Amino acid sequence: MGVSEVIFEHVIQPGTGKAVEMRAGQILRIEQVEGGQCVDFNCFNLNDYKEFMHCGRTRTVHGFHPSKGTFLWSGPPREHAMMFILEDTYGRNDVLFPRCSAYLYESAYGFGVHTNCQDIQAEAQREYGLTPDDVHDSFNFFMCTEVSGPHRAQITRQSSRAGDYVDLLALMDVLAVTNVCGADVMRTSNFALKPIRLSVRQATDAERAAAPPTPILRSQRTPESFRVRNIKADRELRADPTYRPEFKNVPLMVEDVPVELSANEMAILAAVRQPIYGDDDGAALRDVLFSWWEERFLAGSSGAPVISNSSDSP
Amino acid sequence: MAPAQTNRQFTAKIVTLRLNRQQLELIDRTVARGVAPDRASVVRLALKEYAASRNQLKQRN
């Protein structure tokens, strides 16, 4: 596969970050200079900053450690695949942990001022008029984490090396904000901060073709469909006296569906029913019905979309 | 799937599911694509196949 010419290059030093404009079809390479450095990343729709990469949605679709072959998604109500991870030579990333913050370093370590991803992201994106409140949870590249028990996750040391990189293909015009994670007193970057090289180049046809199509659905809303289209420009929240709720599909009418079960089917129901329903046969059978439907027709877990091929969903 | 071994005797019964209209839409679309001829048949098929898959899981483990 041929590689196109680099059109932008920048080395972000410890304590800093950089906002980079990218057009759809360009590739951002995030590369280790010395190795062992966690990189926080966020991106916004360049033409509408209210759409941005959403870790929760990305985590739901691709799990806790998305890597090569996965997407960076925006959150509801947009839910677009914004970028595609075309290459990932280290293969360890995290979307469990939020960005570190000044509050963390003050509360846990007593620092008055300390490098942190919230403030670095905010300072980098200030170039485009965005405020600190516009920073969102970051995709943490080269960050090693693991679920350490039934209720906790933890950060572990990492072993990325100089030259390890991730290539992110922009699927829409984005502002990509990348920073050297400020955590020097945690394991995240093995207790030392190192520079990171950024470069942008045009994707080749083959690289663009490597991103599988994602479903384009009516539910991927745009501001044109919003009842409130304008971005609120003041800070105080006040109720609109003309507001009348217009929730969808309400009232949710309920209908009785009688189903005649044979003695044998009643015995089967008894064998598979969830104990939480007690003697409520209808609720137990409804659970069986939708559990079966999920097993038979849902391609991805937790409602994740089908990324390639056609859906078998009715 | 063979029912679990138990001393309990079972008799035929009409079980009533309470489904809201979104749930009914999903079931009706499932009927429309030919999975089963009507709502009640979908429910019975679900019970049969769900029990069979639980049985397979049990045998695997």
Q: What is the ipTM of this complex?
A: 0.92
Shared domain for A216 and A168, answered yes or no, is: yes
Shared domain for A217 and A266, answered yes or no, is: no
- Considering only CB atoms, which residues of chain A are within 8 Å of chain B? 249, 252-272, 281-283, 285-286, 288-293, 295-297, 314
Distance of CA A227 to the CA centre of its chain: 26
Does residue B7 lie in a domain region? no
Confidence of residue A149 (pLDDT cuts 50, 70, 90): confident
Does residue A24 lie in a domain region? yes
Does residue A297 lie in a domain region? yes
Q: Of A186, A204, A224, which residue sits at a domain end?
A: A224
- State whether A253 and B20 contact (CB < 8 Å): yes
pLDDT at A307 > cutoff 80: no
pLDDT at A166 > cutoff 90: yes
Confidence of residue B3 (pLDDT cuts 50, 70, 90): low
Mean pLDDT of chain A: 94
Of the candidates A75, A78, A50, A314, the residue with the CA atom closest to the CA atom of residue A217: A78
Round to whole Å and give the CA distance between A276 and A274.
5
pTM for the predicted model, two decimal places: 0.87
Closest-CA distance of chain A to residue B60, Å = 17
What are the chain B neighbours of A288 within 8 Å (beta carbons)?
46-47, 50
Average pLDDT in the A3-22 region?
96
- State whether A270 and B22 contact (CB < 8 Å): no
User: Chain B residue with minimal CA distance to A291?
Assistant: B50
Does residue A296 lie in a domain region? yes
pLDDT at A314 > cutoff 70: no
Shared domain for A145 and A201, answered yes or no, is: yes
Shared domain for A180 and A273, answered yes or no, is: no
Q: Which of B14, B23, B46 sits opposite A258 (nearest CB)?
A: B14
Question: How many domains does chain B divide into?
Answer: 1
Does residue B50 lie in a domain region? yes
Round to whole Å and give the CA distance between B53 and A292.
9
pLDDT at A1: 52
Shared domain for A156 and A294, answered yes or no, is: no
B-interface mutation test, from A256, A272, A279, most B Cβ less than 10 A away: A272
Confidence of residue A89 (pLDDT cuts 50, 70, 90): very high
Q: Alpha-carbon torsion A87, A90, A95, A100, what sign?
A: negative
Shared domain for A278 and A186, answered yes or no, is: no
Does residue A240 lie in a domain region? no
pLDDT at B61: 81
pLDDT at B2 > cutoff 60: no
pLDDT at A41 > cutoff 50: yes
Shared domain for A211 and A296, answered yes or no, is: no
pLDDT tens sequence across A42-84: 999 999 999 999 999 999 999 999 999 999 999 999 999 999 9
pLDDT at A312: 43
Shared domain for A304 and A163, answered yes or no, is: no
DSSP string, A210-270: TS------TTS--GGG-SS-SPP-SS-----TT-----TT-S--EEEEEEEE-HHHHHHHH
- State whether A271 and B51 contact (CB < 8 Å): yes
- On whether any CB of chain A is under 8 Å from the CB of B52, the answer is no
Does residue B1 lie in a domain region? no
Shared domain for A21 and A139, answered yes or no, is: yes
Shared domain for A265 and A157, answered yes or no, is: no
Does residue B51 lie in a domain region? yes
Range of the domain at A59: 6-224
The mean-pLDDT minimum among A70-74, A89-93, A178-182, B6-10 falls in: B6-10
Does residue B35 lie in a domain region? yes
- On whether any CB of chain A is under 8 Å from the CB of B28, the answer is no
- On whether any CB of chain A is under 8 Å from the CB of B33, the answer is yes
- State whether B30 and A270 contact (CB < 8 Å): no
pLDDT tens sequence across A283-304: 999 999 999 999 999 877 666 7
- State whether B17 and A285 contact (CB < 8 Å): yes
Shared domain for A104 and A173, answered yes or no, is: yes
Shared domain for A175 and A262, answered yes or no, is: no
Confidence of residue A23 (pLDDT cuts 50, 70, 90): very high
Q: A148 — phi, psi (to 5°)?
A: -105, 10
User: Chain B residue with minimal CA distance to A284?
Assistant: B17
Does residue B12 lie in a domain region? no
Cβ atoms of residues B42 and A289 within 8 Å: yes
pLDDT tens sequence across B7-56: 789 999 999 999 999 999 999 999 999 999 999 999 999 999 999 999 99
Of the candidates A181, A211, A175, the residue with the CA atom closest to the CA atom of residue A42: A175
Q: Which of A252, A266, A293 sits opposite B26 (nearest CB)?
A: A293
Question: How many domains does chain A divide into?
Answer: 2
Q: Of A177, A207, A224, which residue sits at a domain end?
A: A224
Cβ atoms of residues A113 and A160 within 8 Å: no
- State whether A268 and B48 contact (CB < 8 Å): yes
Confidence of residue A310 (pLDDT cuts 50, 70, 90): very low
Does residue A245 lie in a domain region? no
Q: Which of B3, B14, B42 sits opposite A260 (nearest CB)?
A: B14
DSSP string, A190-206: TT----EEEEEEEPPHH
Average pLDDT in the A300-314 region?
59
Range of the domain at B37: 21-60
Closest-CA distance of chain A to residue B58, Å = 12
Q: Which of A252, A263, A297 sits opposite B21 (nearest CB)?
A: A252
